[in-house]
Amino acid sequence: MRYHIRPSAVPLMGTVRVPGDKSISHRAVLFAAMAEGTSRLTGVLESADVRSSMAAVEALGAQVELIAEEPEGLSLAVRGWGADGPIEPVGPIDCGNSGTSIRLLLGILAGWPINAVLTGDESLSRRPMRRVTAPLSEMGARFQAEEGDVAPIGVSGGSLRPASFELPVASAQVKSALLLAALRAPGTTRVCEPSPSRDHTERMLPAFGVPVDRQTLCASVTGPVALSAADVAVAADPSSAAFLVGAALLVPGSDVSLPGVSLNPTRIGFLRVLARMGADVEVTKGPEICGEPTGDIRARYSATLTATTITAEEVPSLIDEVPLLAIVATAATGTTRFEGVGELRVKESDRLAAISEAINTLGGGAIADEDTLAIAGGHPLTGTALDSLGDHRLAMAYAVAGLVASGETEIDRFEAVDVSYPAFAGDLKTLQAGVRE
Ligand code: S3P
């Protein structure tokens, strides 16, 4: 689907409840499927990625019942496989576009004596899986992949031994896969990472009855340990909120409020960066929901933004927001530098190449090399034809650019937004209509 967008003639005004967090929704579905008993989940993101996790656990023997479809998300009752373990699936399990589904499932399946094949779409089939299969092999799991380290991947699980890992890359998907495998390994498995990646797994496992020992940069689980059913409410997704925050900062006169967003510190590096840039963003802390700090974000048009440097250390806390921050940086005075962003090359697309090319096509000044990105601010953007490459976050970042670029911006394959934020275009329209809830 091609999406056409012009500079917003009106400020963005009002309140939008952005959908449930994608990372938390995946984990709620997967952990509930592993647990003994029936878990009740609310606010679950209704999107293609989370549907991949739901279909996968059903193929593995969990029962997923839709209780209600509410504006805040899906209410589900999930009956897990518990002590019986997952059943051997009849055919390959299609993880679609979802890196979180495939990587966490590889860890979950590693400890059970069944064979399963995990596949995905074209994008997922290009993404590196050895980062998960190599450490899981050390624990005793076996994998078969035709083309080296990409899907389709066969997993033959069984008895695991505990291990200690120093991950070369900060990745919550890898860390989570290893901690989930560790549940079935007798003894303590420890996972350390170079800088803190999102910690939803560590925060949610205790609710399912699994103690997680946490030190700075390391998490340990002692197995064997079983999950028992839990009730989980999913907070709104800061990564989805980021696009509306960015839009509000750039469109003159805007004033946008986003309530109930996860303010997990491992996720809101983008808010810290925007504060450094002088953005008018206000955060009001709210209640903790299922171990996740939450609160409200209010973003207002910010006429004067200044460039900043994003260090490699803080990248994991804003890894999914780099495309959006790069667009915001086009409006800042000076050159914004992103260091240590090479991981963007192995996301749903090569986001580093794509965002720098798109910004240059729009008339901005971007330079990317293997691991860094520099955006020279102050070049006015001109609408043009862009391709999302089937990448949801690029599609939404380009739409934010289209709100301020002169003329018309066309975004090809815009349906990619269904992966994480199906209502994105509708929510933008709501804000343009200035509707306050
Ligand atoms: C995710 C972890 C991150 C992130 C992805 C979701 C997760 O990936 O980019 O969108 O839910 O654990 P990596 O683990 O590859 O850093």
Domain ranges of the chain: 3-20+235-427, 22-228
- Ligand 1 centre to CA of 5 (Å) is 29
Give the domain 3-20+235-427 fold. UDP-n-acetylglucosamine1-carboxyvinyl-transferase; Chain (3.65.10)
Distance CA 420, CA 52 (A): 12
Q: What are the tens digits of pLDDT across the range 3-37?
A: 999 999 999 999 999 999 999 999 999 999 999 99
Q: Considering the entire predicted model, what is its pTM?
A: 0.98
Measured in angstroms, how far is the CA atom of residue 333 from the centroid of ligand 1?
A: 31
Instruction: Note if the bond before 128 is cis, omega within 30 degrees.
Output: no
The domains spanning 3-20+235-427 and 22-228 adopt the same CATH topology: yes
Contact partners, residue 99, CB within 8 Å, separation at least 6: 124, 127, 173, 347, 348
Residue 418 in tokens:
């269904």
Ligand 1 atom closest to 197 (CA): 16
Query: Taking CB atoms and a 6 Å cutoff, what residues make up the pocket around ligand 1?
Result: 23, 26, 100, 171-173, 176, 197-198, 319-320
**C-alpha of residue 194 to centroid of ligand 1, in Å:** 15
Q: Which residue puts its alpha carbon closest to atom 15 of ligand 1?
A: 171
Q: What is the pLDDT of residues 211-220, one digit of tens each?
A: 999 999 999 9
CA 102 to ligand 1 centroid distance, Å: 11
| Residue the block writes with tokens 């409020």 | 257
Residue 268 in contact with residue 317, Cβ under 8 Å? yes
Domain 22-228 grouped into CATH 3.65.10.10: yes
Give me the mean pLDDT over the 235-249 stretch. 98
Q: Region 154-177: what's the mean pLDDT?
A: 98
CA distance 278 to 267: 20
Active-site option among 320, 387, 391, 427: 320
Does pLDDT of 437 surpass 70?
no
How far is it, in rounded angstroms, from Cα 13 to Cα 5? Answer: 18
What is the whole-number distance in angstroms between the Cα of residue 344 and the centre of ligand 1? 11
End-to-end CA distance of the chain: 29
| Distance (Å, whole) CA 128 – CA 151 | 8
- Map residue 323 onto helix, strand or coil: helix
Ligand 1 atom nearest residue 104's Cα: 12
> For 32-51, what is the mean pLDDT?
98
Q: Could you confirm whether 320 is annotated as catalytic? A: yes
**Mutational pocket test of ligand 1: of 52, 319, 392, the residue with most ligand atoms within 8 Å of the beta carbon:** 319
**Which among 191, 198, 267 is the best mutation to test ligand 1's pocket, defined by most ligand atoms within 8 Å of the CB?**
198
pLDDT surpasses 90 at 361: yes
